[in-house]
Amino acid sequence: MMTVMMMGNNGLKPKDNEFTSKPWHWPINYQGLRFSGINDTDFRVYLLGNPVVWWLNLLSIALYLLLGSIMAVAVQRGARLPAEIEGLSQVLLQGGGQLLLGWMLHYFPFFLMGRILYFHHYFPAMLFSSMLTGILWDTLLRLCAWSLASSSLARGIYAVGLLSLLLGTAYSFYLFHPLAYGMVGPLAQDPRSPMAGLRWLESWDF
């Protein structure tokens, strides 16, 4: 029974005029998914990842691989690290490593599937990458704070860094919320559209 279900799932094909996507599209937020409306008189809803969050996650994965490799090599060679740095490295390597593994297990298998794929298939993997982003930037800000002699300045740097990330995420939600809550009027390809300035990629079709 399980084999039959797997074969049936793998054999799903797109319907006529149905929007699909490829796994390499997902981490870079290359293309969204139109849920309703096709012209400027329709009430339109467009599924697209928050580009600030998506691209920050992608950057964070790259930075994690770089920083994690440096820390792993340092630990492997027996480098004597200050107690606080050693604690941060353990959090980054162990906690971050588990999240990176979760992202990989929820993402890379889609490259082996022959079935129809949609943008929302990436969402479980995206949760892991978002948690990894949190661990990475918390660690980086703590490292920056630790390198400063003044404890009050260190706390200020840490607080400003976290607040900047939170405000940047909140503001990007404010900018792109019409895609989720619905929009009307000219399409973003039209310079008169209020969404024209938010079409950061040509492949975004809202």
Specify if 189 maps to a domain.
Answer: no
Query: How many residues are recorded in the chain?
Result: 206
Mean pLDDT of the chain: 80
Question: Which one has a higher pLDDT value, 20 or 198?
Answer: 198
Amino acid 6: pLDDT = 47
Specify if 103 maps to a domain.
Answer: yes
Specify if 157 maps to a domain.
Answer: yes
Instruction: Please tell me the distance from the alpha carbon of residue 31 to that of residue 44, in angstroms, as a whole number.
Output: 16
Q: How many domains does the chain have?
A: 1
Specify if 10 maps to a domain.
Answer: no
- DSSP label at residue 35: E
Specify if 147 maps to a domain.
Answer: yes
Specify if 115 maps to a domain.
Answer: yes
Give 57-92 pLDDT, tens digit per residue: 999 999 999 988 887 787 777 767 677 777 777 888
Specify if 38 maps to a domain.
Answer: yes
Instruction: Please tell me the distance from the alpha carbon of residue 45 to that of residue 206, in angstroms, as a whole number.
Output: 8
Find the mean pLDDT for residues 21-34. 87
Question: Is 90 exceeded by the pLDDT of residue 186?
Answer: no
Query: Domain of 136?
Result: 33-183
Amino acid 41: pLDDT = 62
By C-alpha distance, which of 95, 130, 125, 98 is closest to 111? 125
Give the H/E segment covering residue 36. strand 33-36
By C-alpha distance, which of 199, 24, 13, 51 is closest to 121? 24
Model confidence at 11, pLDDT cuts 50, 70, 90, reads low
**Contact 14/142 with Cβ under 8 angstroms?**
no
Give 141-177 pLDDT, tens digit per residue: 887 777 765 667 777 788 888 899 899 999 999 988 8
Instruction: Please tell me the distance from the alpha carbon of residue 205 to that of residue 25, in angstroms, as a whole number.
Output: 14
User: Cβ–Cβ contacts within 10 Å for residue 51, how many?
Assistant: 17
pTM of the full structure: 0.80
| Burial of 197 from C-beta contacts in 10 A (0-12 / 13-18 / 19+) | exposed
Specify if 199 maps to a domain.
Answer: no
